[in-house]
Amino acid sequence: MISVVLWDLDGTIQDSEMLAKEGTRYGFMQVLGREPTEDEFAQLVGRPVPIVYKEWFDEELAKQLLDTGTRYYQERAEQIPCYRGVPELLSELNRRGYRMGVVSSKRRFHVESELSSKNLDSLFDVIVAQEDTRLHKPHPDPLILAASALHSLPENCIYIGDQPSDIRAADAARMKGIAALWGDGQVERLEPMCSSRLAYTPKDILNFL
């Protein structure tokens, strides 16, 4: 029986893709004097940015890029909107007694401040962020850690996310993965992975519970 609902943050709860891209672009322009390529943007989706930068650049350059882009992003982060219908769904799930958590590849201070700015932080019993595990989605460790923190078996949890890495992580953790298609999720990428668990609107989540 499902008793825990775990959420991805970006592209699922909030519409942050445009600002994240702007921050990345700003960092590249200020430090490298060029814009990121489309391939570089694609490789950053769903992965911890500091880790990706360290794969591409030496440590000092990676830090400069991260710090510059982060400053730009953080100065504007309070402007990030929730997707329509998500706050209402979160409140309804809370009213029904589901315990909830956020599992994100983002750094903790971003997750906490962005949830707090929307007055959503009190709805979540656990946050698992980038710093909390060595391995990240699609590896199951972050999801398993969240379930453990809530004293729940993974099979009693669902995980809602907008990227293939979210669904792979849920499958690997023995959770039901639900594809969120109201934001950044693309049906052509997600349908082959979970054709029976596609949520086109936030309200669709209730059908899976």
pLDDT digits (tens, 9 = 90+) for 4-13: 999 999 999 9
Contact 162, 11 (CB under 8 A): yes
> Tens of pLDDT along 147-203?
999 999 999 999 999 999 999 999 999 999 999 999 989 999 999 999 899 999 999
Which pLDDT value is given to residue 45?
Answer: 83
Could you please report the per-residue DSSP string of 129-187? Answer: -GGG-SS-TTSSHHHHHHHHHTT--GGGEEEEESSHHHHHHHHHTT-EEEEE-SSS--H
> Tens of pLDDT along 50-104?
999 999 999 999 999 999 999 999 999 999 999 999 999 999 999 999 999 999 9
4-15+81-208: which CATH topology?
Rossmann fold (3.40.50)
Which pLDDT value is given to residue 28?
Answer: 97
Sign of CA dihedral 168, 173, 179, 180: negative
Model pTM? 0.91
Which pLDDT value is given to residue 195?
Answer: 87
Which pLDDT value is given to residue 46?
Answer: 76
What is the DSSP-derived secondary structure letter of residue 45? T
Q: Which listed CATH number (1.10.150, 2.50.20, 1.20.1070, 1.10.3470) goes with 17-78? A: 1.10.150
Which pLDDT value is given to residue 23?
Answer: 96
Fold agreement (4-15+81-208, 17-78): no
Q: Looking at 48-52, 110-114, 139-143, which range is the least confident one?
A: 48-52
The set of residues, in sequence order, having a beta carbon less than 8 Å from that of 36 and lying 6+ positions away, is 24, 25, 28, 44
What are the structural domain ranges in the chain?
A: 4-15+81-208, 17-78
